[in-house]
Amino acid sequence: MALSACAGCGQRYIRWNQCMPEVKSYALPTGGPVTLGTLDDMRQRIRQKSKLKGRQADDQSVAEVRALLGLPPHRRDLLIEHLHRLNDAHRCLHDRHLVALAKDMNIPMAEVFEVATFYHHFDVVRGDAQAPVITVRVCDGLSCELAGAKELLQRLPALLGNQDVRVIPAPCLGRCEQAPVAVVHQNPVPVATIDAVLALVQSGGTRHPDAGDGTVFDAAACAQSSVPSLSEAVQAAPAYTGYQAYRAAGGYQLAASLASDDAAVERVIQAMEASGLRGLGGAGFPAGRKWRIVRSQTAPKLMAVNIDEGEPGTFKDRTYLERDPHRFLEGMLVAARAVGIDACYIYLRDEYHGCRAILEREIARLQADPPCPLPRIELRRGAGAYICGEESAMIESIEGKRGEPRMRPPYIAEVGLFGRPTLEHNFETLYWVRDIVQKGPDWFSGFGRNGRKGLRSFSVSGRVSRPGVKLAPAGITLQELIDEYCGGMAPGHTLYAYLPGGASGGILPASLANVPLDFDTIQPHGGFIGSAAVIVLSQHDRARDAALNMMRFFAHESCGQCTPCRVGTAKAVALMQADVWDNTTLEDLNTVMVDASICGLGQAAPNPVRSVQKYFAHEVA
């Protein structure tokens, strides 16, 4: 059978030509019928057009994905959680599984792929390639570098490197007081040695050890002292206060008392304002004022809690969380009740495997026996991206996207998570809520030195005798912190320089060791305190090496969204390796990064460079 067209049937020809655009040069016939194709030809063309474009999911991959995640549909915001499930099960992300996941989530393959390749902890492999059975990560952050991480990175690959085991450098792992640190899959090795890492790999010890819940931890009792004892300082999984022990010690009484008492809620907010507590993630915005701003917004409102803690040198949140999770959870519930929050999302950095197990267990216990009405609580897992410590990038990640900062305005207090008004807090800010309210705002503000008020948790590492979290008065000087809390400098070391606020806070000389450490006190000297991550350098170190370590970190962690940060950090790394710095070109880069970067990463990246140029010019001349 053949299909024909004639001069008297122009409309039929037009419709046919629209359906078959490959017929390009057909001219209306002037004579008898013209054959356009057989029925088999038409069927073949229809079959070709009915096929989906791009790579299609195979049945085996779909079955493997569904065995882990269940049958669709799946929530779009859980994409990263699903990628973690696949990555944990297979020690990598096979591209065929990504195709199957895209099919089941009904989103483009490109969208799944761009999210999977954005985060450092997702290892995407193609075809039949296989990932190593064990990955050993060695921290190359500044504190670990000072403690000998370079030797580990140089020797371990030869001793362990084969098709089943790989050794890779990793940015700060949040255990700086235990430097140098390695992680065998998910099992941390504090104060790592070659022998300790070899023994753990050979025994297959890849799982984070479980922590017991048979202790009672009182954070307030640690005021003006070190938080972990010397015996606990190098433990990977110290004992913590579980749900029953916390309740028995008066825990959740504050949260329960607010359930139906609006007047009490107002008193709580007033106490927060009177205490002077400021955001302890680095920005320092007054907590009570933030509560009032979000409280005034239209419901439904959400909360996002930042426990990403990726700033090099910072480990205070991990220290408190792995000992006392419910003090934080109660603070979160109090804030939720005061502001009118419908759901709380806790964003925890992926390196904190032990903390994640604790939170999963204790949130389940809280929900099984709630002391008061609870908002919805969801624990979300980061995937190795420092940029997600920035509040809007964290929100993008919680929504299952690439962790790229948003342009502001609008601010997240107005348009945040899932487009709703959002209260964003650092872990430690919420951790102190219970003590401030129950002990009174004067308890917290009563601490302080040199005209400053409050307590600060200093994460101290580097060339000191006793590193760790030091719960000290705001306004304490570095010299006082070293002498009174850290047992002085390590033997054979004298103070040369220090980083007051991690990678972003600049590098100050020993001559400024008597400057009060607090918000707004260090800016006149070209630095800032941020999350109070203090890294101490001695006469055996060079500030230029510390600055280069930090700039390499920024270049590695730039999300790549804006050119000044993406290109500027990489160019700065190249320039900073010269024996004599090209200060003119470096300052051009500094200016562009500060003025044109979207978020604080690019804006703060020049701080260590400018500190070296200002205080340690002799090192780069």
Tokens of 559: 């999300």
CATH 1.10.10 applies to domain 59-125 = yes
Task: Read off the pLDDT band of 19 (50, 70, 90).
Answer: very low
State pLDDT tens for residues 314-330: 999 999 999 999 999 99
User: Which fold is adopted by the domain 134-203?
Assistant: Glutaredoxin (3.40.30)
Chain region(s) in the chain for CATH 3.10.20.600: 446-539
pTM for the model stands at 0.91
| CB-neighbour burial class of residue 262 (10 A; exposed 0-12, middle 13-18, buried 19+) | exposed
Chain region(s) in the chain for CATH 3.40.30.10: 134-203
Task: Read off the pLDDT band of 41 (50, 70, 90).
Answer: confident
C-alpha distance from residue 533 to each of 18, 137, 324, 371, 507 (Å): 67, 22, 21, 35, 12
Alpha carbon 143 to its chain centroid, in Å, reads: 19
Task: Read off the pLDDT band of 581 (50, 70, 90).
Answer: very high
pLDDT for residue 33? 64
Region for 204 from its dihedrals, namely left if φ exceeds 0, alpha if ψ lies in -120 to 50, beta otherwise: left
| Model confidence at 26: pLDDT above 50 | no
Mean pLDDT, rounded, for 397-420: 96
Phi, psi torsion values for 137, nearest 5 degrees: -100, 130
Cβ distance 124 to 92 under 8 Å?
yes
- 163 vs 200, higher pLDDT: 200
CA dihedral 78, 84, 85, 88 (to 10 degrees): 180
Least confident of 25-39, 75-89, 242-256, 327-341: 25-39
pLDDT for residue 229? 63
How many C-beta neighbours within 10 Å does residue 232 have? 15
* 375 cis-preceded (ω within 30 degrees of 0): no
Mean pLDDT, rounded, for 465-479: 96
User: Which fold is adopted by the domain 544-619?
Assistant: de novo design (two linked rop proteins) (1.20.1440)
Q: Which of 237, 242, 252 is nearest to 215 (CA)?
A: 242
DSSP collapsed to 3 states, 393-460: HHHHHHCCCCCCCCCCCCCCCCCCHHHCCEEEEEHHHHHCHHHHHHHCHHHHHCCCCCCCCCEEEEEE
| Model confidence at 485: pLDDT above 90 | yes
Where b means 16+ CB within 10 Å and e means fewer, 465-477 reads: ebbbbbbbbbbbb
State pLDDT tens for residues 502-545: 999 999 999 999 999 999 999 999 999 999 999 999 999 999 99
Chain region(s) in the chain for CATH 1.10.10: 59-125
Alpha carbon 286 to its chain centroid, in Å, reads: 22
State pLDDT tens for residues 541-562: 999 999 999 999 999 999 999 9
Mean pLDDT, rounded, for 75-87: 98
Task: Read off the pLDDT band of 148 (50, 70, 90).
Answer: very high
State pLDDT tens for residues 186-200: 999 999 999 999 999
pLDDT for residue 219? 87
Residues of the chain above pLDDT 90, percent = 85
| Model confidence at 31: pLDDT above 50 | yes
Mean pLDDT, rounded, for 459-467: 96
pLDDT for residue 7? 43
How many C-beta neighbours within 10 Å does residue 76 have? 13
Mean pLDDT, rounded, for 160-178: 92
- The average confidence (pLDDT) of the chain is 92
User: Which fold is adopted by the domain 219-439?
Assistant: Rossmann fold (3.40.50)
Residues of the chain above pLDDT 70, percent = 92
Class level of CATH domain 446-539: alpha beta
Chain region(s) in the chain for CATH 1.20.1440.230: 544-619
Computed over its alpha carbons, how large is the radius of gyration of the chain? 29
Chain region(s) in the chain for CATH 3.40.50.11540: 219-439
